[in-house]
Amino acid sequence: MAMKRGLGKGLDMLIPTEPHGTKEKKNGDKSTTVTGKKEKIKEIIKEVEVIKEVEKEIKLDINLVEPNREQPRKQFDEDALIELADSIKQVGIIQPLVVQQREGYYEIIAGERRWRAAKMAGLKEVPAVIRNYSEKEILEIALIENIQRENLNPIEEALAYKKLIEEFKLKQDEVAEKVSKSRTAVTNAMRLLKLDERVQQMLIDDMISSGHARALLSLDDKEEQYKLAMRVFDEKLSVREIEKMVKSILTPKKEKEETPKLDFLYKEIEEKMKNIMGTKVSIKAKDKNKGKIEVEYYSQEELERIIELLERTQNVVDM
């Protein structure tokens, strides 16, 4: 393991040594030697010197390196990998992989895309740094690396959040903090997992956008979600169009019915109730036999007064 020390090497340059004996300066009864100063400084430096371990980059046989099975990212753009492989052939791998030693192999913590491109480029060895992390830390690092590079599709991202929450007992705000996103963003991402699996796959395959997917979340019927998702793809519908379609499904238009006009009797009843309650009263008829009565109030005190009035009326009726 390489070690790094500070200050010691340049000491002789700061305080030159005297080859023959010691030079002495006198100041009254006090005298100080250069050698004495040098030894004193050496002692001080020895006390405060910090020894820092330097992380060592090594070369690993590419066949001894394997991807992390818990890697959030499951799909890799083939064209992008070919471009990266061509770059690696010319300049090599600039940033080393981060790996963890396992029994008989090295597991990738960060850099699977570089490893895949290196294999395509025909490299026999890859630069790597070996570190030791817990399973939770490995997942966090893989997730954060991919999210920061925007390499995860929305479903992969949602599944990674779910794993951090369910398996590692993190809260949504803790996950949000780790990936530098808002809690709302994490919540909205995870909601996509409520979609029909066929719709999730369409999102992965870029057949629909995240905006389309979020609009479809309002539908509980999975079959309805899939049918509308297919319409989005087939008819190239916009997010706004699909939102309107979802709204029309959730709130079907009722057959227009002419609202019966309040006759003179209703108006008279409204006035009587207004005088009794001391506030505005409206009677809204749905048909000849049904309707509703609305009593308005303008403060908490007025509401309490109306309730008290109704209670007194009820007591009178019970008597």
DSSP letter for each residue of 287-312? SSS-EEEEE--SSHHHHHHHHHHHHH
pLDDT tens sequence across 21-70 = 444 444 444 445 555 555 655 554 444 343 333 468 889 999 999 987 76
In whole angstroms, what is the distance from residue 229 CA to residue 194 CA? 14
What percent of the chain has a predicted confidence (pLDDT) above 90? 29
In whole angstroms, give the CA distance from residue 186 to residue 194: 14
| Two tokens, residue 311 | 């209670």
3-state SS class at 53:
strand
Q: What is the pLDDT of residue 181?
A: 85
Mean pLDDT of 148-163: 80
Query: Can you tell me the distance from the alpha carbon of 288 to that of 297, in angstroms, rounded to the nearest whole number?
Result: 27
The pLDDT-based confidence of 165 (bands split at 50, 70, 90) is: confident
Give the closest residue to 159 by CA, choosing from 66, 184, 167, 277: 167
Alpha-carbon gap, residue 215 to 112, rounded angstroms: 34
Enzyme catalytic residues? 112
What percent of the chain has a predicted confidence (pLDDT) above 70? 73
Q: What is the pTM of this model?
A: 0.49
